[in-house]
């Protein structure tokens, strides 16, 4: 396009020489110039050596084909032979592909988006280098080449802002969900739980309790979740099986079939026993027996203020046992 060089109306007058603007004459060079204040021994030892001829055939410049920096150069595959181009030939530029759309990116996990971001970034790096080098050339096709590089570069840039948009959107959705989910919603969700898999998904969705022990963060929320899941487990099983219900009512004074009573397991040690038990009848009956045994000694009751410390101990023990692969039963009594 046009290059409009705009000048101020007073440029001419400013540049005009007047009697006040006659430049001073240059100072006469000193006959006794000051010597450098610092000198090094390198100056004395300098020797002129014959120049090294620039050649890629030189052994010191040999680069292996698997060098990771080759990823920043265009790879050319011809007759099953891999070679690298210093600058991508215009005929091999991918001008047909398009950017990723937002709907496509919404289906991808954080790790996928993260990888895609860096793939785009690397590609843009290649384009930036190539554009810089092409601009120094004087070929007739220069502008077209740079233009197509710019177009592909723009497509990568669009993908990148879309990735950020999708992640930002996801974060907002998460925050809104967290602030609007009430206890009623949780209770409604819990009514749909029937199988072990559903229970696992429920505890992860509502309390963030993962099946992988090391992933969990031990805090107040974790303890509350643990107690909720324990009561939910017993409630579902008690409604299904009469034997368990009778055991719960007679031995532990817990009636899960009566919706009016809000009584449930509230002690951490008891809750933990049920929590680590399998989600079936036999394991629950065993857990009931263990709780009954635990209740026989009032010392086993854990105060609310010691809960965090105790659960940390339990989890640590659980981790150790799972890492050693020993089939050691971890119960509060054992700890």
Partner 1 sequence: MSSKYAYEQLSKAGARVAERATKVPRHLQPRLQKIMERGTPQFRRGNLPHVRDEERFDSEKQWRFLVGDRVVITKGKLKGTVTTIRMHDRSTNGYILGPGGPTRKVPVPKTLWSEGQTTHIVEMPQIMKRKDLKLVADIEDPKTGNLKTVAVRDLVFRGGYYDENYKKVMPYRYVAGEQGLIVPWPKPEVVPDGELGTTPENVREQTFWADSYVRNPIPNAALLTIRNPNSKFRKGTLKLKDLARLVAPEMPLTPERKEYLRKEKELKAKNKNILERPALSLEDMQMIDNRIKDHLEKQSRTV
Q: How many CA atoms lie within 13 A of 133 on its CB side?
A: 12
Q: How many CA atoms lie within 13 A of 18 on its CB side?
A: 5
Using the minimum distance from each CB to partner 1, give the nearer residue, 152 or 330: 152
Q: Which of 35, 67, 81, 178 binds partner 1 (CB under 8 A)?
A: 178
Using the minimum distance from each CB to partner 1, give the nearer residue, 49 or 111: 111
Is 204 a binder of partner 1 (CB under 8 A)? Answer: yes
Q: Which stretch binds partner 1 (CB under 8 A): 5-13, 121-129, 231-239, 300-308?
A: 121-129
CB of 20 to partner 1, least distance (A): 37
Using the minimum distance from each CB to partner 1, give the nearer residue, 129 or 241: 129
Closest CA to 206 of 237, 184, 239: 184
Q: How far apart are CA 185 and CA 176, in angstroms?
A: 14
CB of 123 to partner 1, least distance (A): 7
Using the minimum distance from each CB to partner 1, give the nearer residue, 4 or 15: 4
Is 328 a binder of partner 1 (CB under 8 A)? Answer: no
CB of 149 to partner 1, least distance (A): 8
Residues 62-101 as x/- pattern, contact with partner 1 by CB under 8 A: ------------------------------x-xxxx--x-
Using the minimum distance from each CB to partner 1, give the nearer residue, 168 or 250: 168
# binding residues, partner 1 (CB under 8 A): 50
String of b and e for 297-322 (b: at least 16 CB within 10 Å)? eeeeebeeeebeebbeebbebbeebe
Exposed/middle/buried for 39, CB within 10 Å: 0-12, 13-18, 19+?
Answer: exposed
DSSP letters spanning 203-261: HHHHH---SSGGG---SHHHHHHHHHHHHHHHHHHHHH-HHHHHHHHHHH---SS-SS-
Using the minimum distance from each CB to partner 1, give the nearer residue, 95 or 250: 95
Is 148 a binder of partner 1 (CB under 8 A)? Answer: no
- For 26, residues 6+ apart whose C-beta sits below 8 A from its C-beta are none
Q: Which stretch binds partner 1 (CB under 8 A): 22-30, 40-48, 107-115, 309-317?
A: 107-115
Q: Which stretch binds partner 1 (CB under 8 A): 15-23, 56-64, 130-138, 240-248?
A: 130-138
Using the minimum distance from each CB to partner 1, give the nearer residue, 145 or 247: 145
Indicate the Cα dihedral angle 332, 238, 212, 111, nearest 10°.
Answer: -150
Is 251 a binder of partner 1 (CB under 8 A)? Answer: no
Using the minimum distance from each CB to partner 1, give the nearer residue, 191 or 224: 224
- Which residues are bridge partners to 85 per DSSP? 74
- Which residues are bridge partners to 76 per DSSP? 83
Beta strands in the chain (DSSP E): 74-78, 81-85
Helices (H) and strands (E) in the chain, counts: 12, 2
Is 275 a binder of partner 1 (CB under 8 A)? Answer: no
Q: Which stretches of the chain bind partner 1, using CB under 8 A? A: 1-2, 92, 94-97, 100, 104, 106-112, 114, 123-124, 127-129, 131-132, 135, 140, 143, 146-147, 150, 152-153, 157, 164, 167-168, 170-171, 173-174, 177-178, 181, 201, 204-208, 221
């Amino acid at each position: 396009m046009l290059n409009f060089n705009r000048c101020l109306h007073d440029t001419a007058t400013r540049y005009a020489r007047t009697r006040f603007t006659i430049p001073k004459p240059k100072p006469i060079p000193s006959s006794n110039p000051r010597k450098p204040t610092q000198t090094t021994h390198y100056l004395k030892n300098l020797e002129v050596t014959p120049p090294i001829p620039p050649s890629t055939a030189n052994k010191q410049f040999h680069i292996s084909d698997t060098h990771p920096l080759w990823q920043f150069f265009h790879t050319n595959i011809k007759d099953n032979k891999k070679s690298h181009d210093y600058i991508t030939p215009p005929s091999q530029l991918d001008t047909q592909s398009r950017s990723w759309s937002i709907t496509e990116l919404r289906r991808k996990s954080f790790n996928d988006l993260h990888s895609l971001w860096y793939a785009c970034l690397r590609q843009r790096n290649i384009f930036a280098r190539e554009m810089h080098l092409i601009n120094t050339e004087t070929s007739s096709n220069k502008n077209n080449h740079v233009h197509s590089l710019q177009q592909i570069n723009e497509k990568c840039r669009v993908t990148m802002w879309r990735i950020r948009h999708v992640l930002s959107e996801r974060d907002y959705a998460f925050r809104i969900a967290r602030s609007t989910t009430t206890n009623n919603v949780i209770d409604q969700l819990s009514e749909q739980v029937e199988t072990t898999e559903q229970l696992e998904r429920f505890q992860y969705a509502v309390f963030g309790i993962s099946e992988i022990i090391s992933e969990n963060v031990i805090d107040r929320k974790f303890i509350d979740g643990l107690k909720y899941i324990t009561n939910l487990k017993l409630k579902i099983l008690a409604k299904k099986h009469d034997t368990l219900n009778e055991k719960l009512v007679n031995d532990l004074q817990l009636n899960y079939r009566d919706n009016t009573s809000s009584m449930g397991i509230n002690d951490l040690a008891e809750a933990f026993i049920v929590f680590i038990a399998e989600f079936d009848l036999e394991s629950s009956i065993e857990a009931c027996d263990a709780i009954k045994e635990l209740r026989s000694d009032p010392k086993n009751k854990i105060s609310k203020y010691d809960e965090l410390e105790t659960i940390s101990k339990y989890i640590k023990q659980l981790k150790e046992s799972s890492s050693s692969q020993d089939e050691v039963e971890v119960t509060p009594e054992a700890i």
